[in-house]
Chain A
């Protein structure tokens, strides 16, 4: 009985339908690569940033701390559209996840 129950649960867990449903909830990434750090640095350098420190590099975006015209900025870069969002301050990881430390020292969630 127990063995049959385990079989049943495994069958459910690995059924193509369920796997497909899980897969369909995210962007299919099988044919697109992620930017490696050397590429992130080069792309941001081409956009005028220096002292780039990568904080987060996932498929949807790269977050980095960088300098531009002497200003410390938290940068979000979309690898596939090239769209850049920048705000004054710097990003840091803490117990509550990624936070933006604004120039006045206050900490907020990084902008989307």
Chain B
């Protein structure tokens, strides 16, 4: 009789504790499933995003909701995340442009950089992102002079933004199971 009473009480207490503690990153895939379901999941799925969505917002729609973003929201957020260590001179979510101000890294005095990020599409694709990096060096007269920048730097930065955008999208998909 005691066991009959105790477990529902404990379950109720656990439910109260669970709901009292919010989380910004609950993820059903962190919890175990029946081994048969795990085997099925291991083989992948014909339909992405955990099945065909019947009701509710898509990942992109939900992510962009309330943020007034006219370009791909994941690329937008990933770009801000990536270049935010520099001062932002202008950020236009409708036009899809992020323009930083000149930034001189304290560890490398005499050099400063400026980054322009252009997001060209609402879809998360590699050709929807363009990054331009500008460099100036200080000459002997303490004047800033434009210097050549290796194209590889801009490509590396684009890759970092695309990887970050992908992480954000996957994180969003996991939240929706």
A and B are partners in one complex rather than unrelated chains: no
Interface residues of A (CB under 8 A from B): none
Interface residues of B (CB under 8 A from A): none
